[in-house]
């Protein structure tokens, strides 16, 4: 047994409820296990308990026993356990603390007092496995999110732990980065390393794992093979289910399917291809909520060019966003998405071309004026919280613009469930609550355009469900929404238009199904069609074949 939990309960110092509550678990060598659950279900505490940070680093009360590779974590300090079990933490920035990628990879080996020849051998192995050979001299802070994730993984791999844990490794990755990490994990599994992966985005990894453990309020509530664990009624656990499984459940089918082949097989068996196809095409027709191609333009961009450190980040971007539209801005990391959205309120000014917001040229209008018309909800809500109470935080914008509308703000407090939190410090809230505060704060000035930067990243199904409600409501109010996301399933559900960026250029602009049907564009942008789209295509092919 590589990992054994015997009746483990753990409560953080001062917490009312336990983070882990009577957990019993055995993990065998070479197994790959996916740990799922909502935010706050105890997943990260579970990871920390596996490498001894709980109880040695965190103050709290631990009962029961955790054995890692036969070592009782209570009796062995982290500095002994780290050669047996390694953890890749959620935030890559906070685990890269050396000057170069190479020194990052060898840090743990130097801690172990290894000789240069053994260090070289392990360095070569880990850098090849994690695909880091070309990055060895780079300072970690200059790397992309995906590269940082691979360095963090490589830094643990050099230690050759028998047990490797990854805490939400896919959160900040684009589809290509996700695929690359999946490849690395498959290789590691084939080398006999035991893997425990904590992840919200189940569909990214579900087909590669042997077992799923579902944590809920610190307890293991489901356990088994992916098909077993996700069978039956599991909606109470807030899991972000794989898209096809969600689709089947919505259609009233109980069979657990993870890929298109399984779905087609089941539909054929039950003779449901035809009605399912009708349902899919109905759902694909995204309601435009009164938006028409002749609606007033909110944003007009003409031939925008922008350079950064001698590199062209935006190259001749043309863009028009009309009133009432919901547009998804897609593309791989580094394609220019963030640069483009920062042009929407003048945070960045085009070096060539122009951009107008409601007729105002961003080159000649200050950000403080444009931000009245364009509301932003950034990926990290902590970037904006600074007021002593939630109420003051939400009212910061209206007070800055002297546009405080008490009725509207009251409506926002209710809509985002902030009433019980109004007098609390925003810093004391959970991440999901902070997101709701940032939504309300951005909407408080009644912006015409609402920009959501990676709204689903790292969020559980409960928040996704809330988010769906918020977006539907905004669309009903006729607001223009721009979604910047890697979550194509979410984009396909909500956006009536996809805008695809690649190397600073708009390479596709149209409805989701049209964009996904263009395999050249999808490959160029490093995107993969959604499972729902793939299923539709597969059914269509089958029907054509029959005809």
Partner 1 sequence: MKRSIFDPRSKLIMAFAATVLLMIFNDWDFLTASLGILVILLLFLYLGRPWLNFLKSLGFAVLTFFIIAWLAFDLHTGIVSGLRLLNIGTVFFLFFQTTPPDMLSNGLLKMGLPYPFTFVLSASMQFIPVLAHRARNIRDAQRARGIPIEGGLGILLHLPALVGPLLIQAFKFADELAEAMEARGFGISGRSFHYEPRFRWVDWGAVAISLTALTIALSIQFL
Binding site for partner 1 (CB under 8 A): 48, 51, 53, 56-57, 78-79, 82-83, 86-87, 89, 91, 93-95, 97-100, 102-103, 106-116, 119, 123, 139-141, 155-156, 159, 342, 345, 347, 366-368, 371-372, 374, 376, 378, 380, 382-386, 396-397, 400-401, 427, 441-442, 445
Nearest to 412 by CA among 457, 477, 367: 477
CB 299 within 8 A of CB 344: yes
Report DSSP letters for 268-295, one per residue: HHTT-HHHHHHHHHHHHS---TT--TTS
Least Å from the CB of residue 296 to partner 1:
23
Place of tokens 């966003």: 321
Least Å from the CB of residue 151 to partner 1:
12
Strands (DSSP E) contained in 323-419 are 326-330, 352-357, 360-361, 374-377
Least Å from the CB of residue 152 to partner 1:
8
- Cβ proximity to partner 1, 171 vs 371, nearer residue: 371
Count Cα neighbours of 231 within 13 Å in the Cβ-side half-sphere: 8
Least Å from the CB of residue 523 to partner 1:
31
- Cβ proximity to partner 1, 44 vs 496, nearer residue: 44
Least Å from the CB of residue 251 to partner 1:
41
Least Å from the CB of residue 504 to partner 1:
19
Least Å from the CB of residue 397 to partner 1:
5
CA–CA distance, 77 with 220 (Å, rounded to integer): 26
CB 178 within 8 A of CB 184: no
Least Å from the CB of residue 507 to partner 1:
26
Show the DSSP H helices in 405-517 as ranges. Answer: 406-415, 431-443, 461-476, 488-494, 512-517
Please list, in sequence order, all residues whose beta carbon lies within 8 angstroms of the beta carbon of residue 541, skipping any fewer than 6 positions away.
none
Nearest to 201 by CA among 191, 193, 209: 209
Least Å from the CB of residue 437 to partner 1:
12
- Cβ proximity to partner 1, 80 vs 274, nearer residue: 80
- Cβ proximity to partner 1, 372 vs 464, nearer residue: 372
Least Å from the CB of residue 99 to partner 1:
5
Between the CA atoms of 52, 56, 59 and 64, what dihedral angle is there, to the nearest 10 degrees?
A: 60
- Cβ proximity to partner 1, 146 vs 243, nearer residue: 146
What's the angle, vertex CA 182, arms to CA 181 and CA 188, rounded to 5? 90
- Cβ proximity to partner 1, 13 vs 269, nearer residue: 13
Would residue 486 be called left, alpha or beta, if left means φ above 0 and alpha means ψ between -120 and 50 degrees? Answer: alpha
* Sign of the four-CA dihedral 182, 185, 187, 190: negative
Least Å from the CB of residue 139 to partner 1:
7
- Cβ proximity to partner 1, 110 vs 423, nearer residue: 110
- Cβ proximity to partner 1, 188 vs 527, nearer residue: 188
Token pair in block for residue 349: 């000014």
- Cβ proximity to partner 1, 96 vs 214, nearer residue: 96
- Cβ proximity to partner 1, 373 vs 533, nearer residue: 373
Least Å from the CB of residue 225 to partner 1:
30
**Quick count: other Cβ atoms within 10 Å of Cβ 403?**
13
- Cβ proximity to partner 1, 115 vs 192, nearer residue: 115
CA–CA distance, 239 with 535 (Å, rounded to integer): 22
Would residue 232 be called left, alpha or beta, if left means φ above 0 and alpha means ψ between -120 and 50 degrees? Answer: left
- Cβ proximity to partner 1, 143 vs 173, nearer residue: 143
- Cβ proximity to partner 1, 54 vs 521, nearer residue: 54
Least Å from the CB of residue 532 to partner 1:
33
CA–CA distance, 459 with 456 (Å, rounded to integer): 5
CA–CA distance, 515 with 508 (Å, rounded to integer): 7
Nearest to 194 by CA among 84, 89, 74: 84
457 to each of 68, 338, 340, 435, 492, how far by Cα in Å?
31, 15, 19, 11, 16
Place of tokens 């539909």: 267
């Amino acid at each position: 047994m590589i990992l054994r939990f015997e009746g483990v309960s753990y409560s953080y110092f001062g917490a009312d409820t336990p983070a882990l509550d009577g957990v019993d678990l055995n993990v065998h060598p070479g197994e790959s296990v996916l740990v799922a659950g909502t935010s706050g279900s105890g997943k990260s505490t579970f990871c920390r308990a596996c490498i001894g940070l709980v109880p040695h680093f965190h103050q709290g009360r631990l009962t029961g026993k955790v054995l890692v590779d036969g070592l009782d974590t209570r009796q062995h300090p982290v500095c002994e356990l780290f050669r047996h079990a390694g953890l890749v933490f959620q935030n890559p920035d906070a685990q890269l603390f050396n000057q170069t990628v190479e020194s990052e990879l060898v840090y743990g080996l130097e801690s172990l007092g290894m000789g240069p020849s053994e260090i070289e051998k392990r360095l070569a192995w880990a850098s090849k496995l994690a695909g880091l050979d070309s990055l060895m001299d780079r300072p970690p802070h200059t790397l992309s999110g995906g590269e940082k994730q691979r360095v963090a993984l490589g830094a643990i791999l050099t230690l050759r732990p028998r047990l490797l844990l990854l805490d939400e490794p896919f959160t900040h990755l684009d589809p290509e980065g996700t695929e690359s990490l999946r490849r690395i994990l498959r290789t590691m599994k084939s080398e006999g390393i035991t893997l425990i992966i904590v992840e919200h985005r189940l569909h990214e990894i579900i087909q590669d794992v042997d077992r799923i453990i579902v944590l809920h309020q610190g307890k293991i509530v489901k356990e088994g093979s992916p098909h077993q664990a996700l069978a039956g009624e599991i909606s109470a656990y807030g899991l972000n289910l794989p898209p096809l499984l969600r689709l089947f459940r919505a259609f009233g089918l109980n069979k657990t399917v993870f890929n298109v082949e399984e779905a087609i097989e089941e539909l054929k068996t039950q003779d449901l291809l035809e009605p399912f196809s009708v349902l899919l095409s109905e759902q694909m027709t995204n309601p435009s909520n009164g938006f028409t191609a002749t609606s007033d333009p909110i944003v007009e961009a003409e031939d925008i060019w922008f350079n950064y450190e001698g590199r062209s980040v935006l190259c001749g971007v043309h863009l028009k966003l009309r009133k009432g539209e919901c547009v998804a801005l897609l593309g791989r990391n580094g394609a220019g998405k963030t640069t483009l959205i920062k042009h929407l309120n003048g945070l960045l000014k085009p070096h060539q071309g122009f951009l107008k917001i409601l007729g105002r040229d961003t080159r000649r209008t200050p950000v403080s004026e444009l931000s009245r018309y364009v509301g932003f909800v950034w990926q990290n809500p902590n970037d904006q919280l600074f007021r002593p109470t939630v109420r003051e935080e939400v009212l910061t914008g209206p007070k800055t613009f002297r546009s405080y509308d008490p009725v509207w703000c009251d409506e926002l407090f209710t809509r985002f469930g902030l009433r019980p939190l109004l007098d609390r410090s925003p810093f004391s809230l959970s991440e999901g609550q902070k997101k709701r505060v940032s939504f309300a704060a951005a909407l408080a000035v009644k912006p015409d355009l609402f920009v959501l930067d990676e709204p689903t990243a790292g969020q559980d199904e409960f928040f996704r469900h809330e988010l769906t409600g918020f977006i539907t409501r905004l669309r009903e109010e006729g607001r223009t929404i721009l979604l910047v996301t890697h979550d194509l399933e979410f984009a396909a559900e909500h956006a009536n238009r996809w805008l695809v960026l690649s190397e600073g250029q708009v390479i596709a602009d149209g409805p989701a199904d049209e964009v996904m049907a263009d395999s050249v564009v999808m490959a160029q942008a490093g995107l993969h069609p959604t499972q729902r789209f793939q299923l539709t295509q597969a059914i269509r092919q089958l029907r054509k074949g029959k005809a």
